[in-house]
Structure 1
Amino acid sequence: MDRRSFLTKASVGGVAAAGAAALASPVVAQTLPKINWRMTSSFPKSLDTIYGAAETFANYVSGMTDGNFKIQVFAAGELVGGLQAADATAAGTVEACHTASYYYWGKDPAWALGTAVPFGPNYRQMNAWYYYGGGIDMTNKFFNKQGLQAYPCGNTGAQMGGWYRKEINTLDDLKGLKMRIGGFGGKVMEALGVVPQQIAGGDIYPSLEKGTIDAAEWIGPYDDEKLGFYKVAPYYYYPGFWEGGPTLSAMFNLKAWNKLPKAYQEVLQAASAAANSDMMANYDWKNPPALKRLVGQGTKLRPFSAEILTAAFEAANKIYADISKTNAPFKEMYDSQRAFMRESFLWLQLAEYNFDTFMMQMDNAGKL
């Protein structure tokens, strides 16, 4: 082999090797900066499903950036209280939080619509509204004014109606009842005579045990079992009509968000969407066996009466109408959600509802 031929082949090989080395690591890892953020959760580590969604999100972000963008997750109380997560993020104390926007509805009822309001959309409807109905843009038009950018990052699906120390059969049984209930649901229950209490998850059990409250709603069988509510309040009601499809949010300090490279903004959106799907699947897998265990330990399942559901529905609609008269952001989001629900149920009641109902009948008959 002559010198010219050798050098030519060596050069080609060198270029190929260099190209292979360049392709071996993601392009984003070669061109974008190393960033470290902190995310505070509104939930304790013991709730592996709902707290875990934030860690799932952070893991996706790190994986998609080859470790260049790292987000450290802190449980409620480690940096700030669970109910101060959004405030701390807006103030820049941390760059991000994982929370339920309805915790902050007391500032403005429009906060609630990012998560859930009584008799609002279910999980599938919330996703459709967010991703295809303009929900992300509508909520961020509001959240940007609070110094935040936010994306859906988890859902529990329809929740249970809570734990009660006594049976609730009529509207009269609700009058004067001290109940821990989060978000906008408390305002509707207040219209029925309930005295709502906003208490963080870790403080619910001792409050029930001491009789400081008479009832409490949290999430559903898996998480409720972990918190031990069945030991101090035997009656477990359904459905949680105030949370048909409660969506959690990954919220980012708006100034920090705007400083990110566009690629990192896309990564955060993609990681939020992935965690959103993952959390619902996690609950769907874990709730059925947890419900069986709860019943086996003496939990008494009870449905809310039609009287209570109807009264709550009418009270909620009156409240929404009153707020919409003076609150433009609330009206925009609420009207959009409600219009989509009317369209959505036309479809869901035909295929999904009838299929599910038949399969449940087969299951109850022992044929599944």
Structure 2
Amino acid sequence: MKKLLMKSMVAVSAIAVLASGAASAKELDVHLSIPKDLVFLSDSTKLMDKTLRDMSGGKMGFKLYGAGELVPAGEILESVGSGAIPAGWTFLGQWGGQVPVAKIAATPFGADPSVLASWLHLGGGLEIIQRGFDKLNVKVLACHVTNPEPGGWFNKEINSIKDFNGLKMRMAGVGARVLNELGASAQYLPAGEIYLALERGRIDATEFSLPIIDKQLGFNKIAKFYYYPGWHQPASVDTLLINMDVWKSYSKQEQAMMEAACQTSLMWTLNAAPPAQTPQIEAFEATGTVVKRFPDPVLAELRTVAEAVLEEEAAKDALYGEAYQSMKAYASAADRWNSLQSIPK
């Protein structure tokens, strides 16, 4: 992580010196898959915009559009690839159906946020992911890593693995398949559709993001039980997707500014999230939310199923398999170091 921070600082310093020679103003239209005012998730896009403007002397920046404002959230990838829009900001795992390697964005029982960010930018992870998007004419910049998410909001207690049988839950990525293996009916829903689905009983449970974000979406008004940990998504990646022709139209200096601003956003997401969550969890509890951990036997069985599912997914697609094995090895090396350095509380 220290090496990643140094890389970001060096890039920012070098680009700032060159910024005065940037080309004419280039404001990039960026279409979000989430509401433009959604706390934290959209804040990283605004930070990247500000950083770009500061480094370029106002010659580069973003014009942000919220989910569905001009393009439906589910059509952003196709629209960016075709050139219908120049850029989008989305959860990478949203595109796992079209680009299997994108599923690596949220790996059950996978790497933690700092290790995932390090693997992406120093361990070759982003290069592997990019190969999956090359055929779609899309450049991928990994500018946001979300800290561990809660396990989800439920209308009933989860006391055993059997409680997932028949459960209708909003969940994204490989975690959804894990639950389906246990008899659940897990499906992806975009942010703007979750509350209504939960309110009307179309789903019994949902996961989405950090407590401060879940608060804004109002899940605590409907579901009583708030479970931890987020086994399905210990860390997740949001990306800036840019049409490749648009990306190539930038000078090397402009591309470097874009990547440096991306690193600034990434570092902010890693550092800003943890201290903001506990006060929100306590506020939920004060209004009746029951905060619980999944029982250890449930987590153990989820891990067993998840490992089998991940191996099957890796066998189905060579590029996803390469990414999964690469991340797994990188995380294993970090785990040895972290365990040696851990200090008992």
TM over 0.5: yes
Gaps of 5+ in 2: 1-15
Task: Output the CA distance in 1 between the equivalents of 2:276 and 2:259.
Answer: 26
Once residues 84 and 288 of structure 1 are traced to their aligned partners in structure 2, the CA distance between those partners, rounded to angstroms, is 35
2:51 paired residue number? 60
**Over alpha carbons, which structure has the higher Rg?**
1
Residue 148 of structure 1 deviates from its aligned partner by 1.2
Residue of 192, 197, 200 corresponding to 1:202: 192
Quick one: which amino acid aligns to residue 286 of structure 2?
G
Q: CA deviation at 1:95?
A: 1.4
* Distance in 2 (alpha carbons) for counterparts of 1:69 and 1:26: 15
The CA distance in 1 between the partners of 2:51 and 2:140, in whole Å, is 17
Partner Cα distance (1:349, 1:31) in 2: 46
TM-score, reference length from structure 1: 0.86
Residues 1:82 and 2:68 aligned together: no
Aligned with 2:337 (options 332, 347, 358)? 347
Conserved? CA contact 2:114–2:270, under 8 Å: no
Match of 2:103 among 106, 109, 112: 112
CA deviation after TM superposition for structure 1 residue 46, in Å: 3.3
- Cα gap change, 1:247/1:31 in structure 2, threshold over 3 Å: closer, same or farther? closer
Contact 2:145 2:238 in 1 (8 A): yes
SS of the residue 2:84 aligns to: coil
| Preserved CA contact (<8 Å) 1:98 1:249 | yes
Shift of 1:27: 4.8
The Cα shift of 1:308 comes to 2.2
Match of 2:289 among 299, 307, 310: 299
Is the Cα–Cα contact under 8 Å of residues 170 and 186 in structure 2 kept in the other structure?
Answer: yes
Report the more deviating stretch, 173-182 or 324-333.
Answer: 324-333
Match of 2:239 among 215, 229, 249: 249
Consecutive aligned runs of 4 or more in structure 1 exceeding 4 Å deviation: none
Residue pair 1:51, 1:75 contacting (<8 A) in 2 also: no
Instruction: Give how far 1:85 is off.
Output: 2.4
Asked if residue 313 in structure 1 is aligned to residue 313 in structure 2, the reply is no
Q: Which has the higher contact order (CA 8 A, sep 6+)?
A: 2
Structure 1 stretches of 5 or more lacking a match? 1-24, 359-368
1:97 alignment partner in structure 2: 88
User: What is the CA-CA distance between 1:167 and the residue it aligns to?
Assistant: 0.7
Counterparts of 1:319 and 1:45, CA distance in 2: 34
TM-score, reference length from structure 2: 0.91
> In the alignment, is the contact (CA less than 8 A) between 2:48 and 2:265 conserved in 1?
yes
- Counterpart AA for 2:46: E
AA aligned to 2:24 is P
Q: Give the % identical residues.
A: 27
Verify the 8 A CA contact 2:174 2:310 in the aligned structure 1: no
Does the alignment pair 1:219 with 2:200?
no
Q: How far off is 1:26 after superposition? A: 6.5
RMSD: 1.7
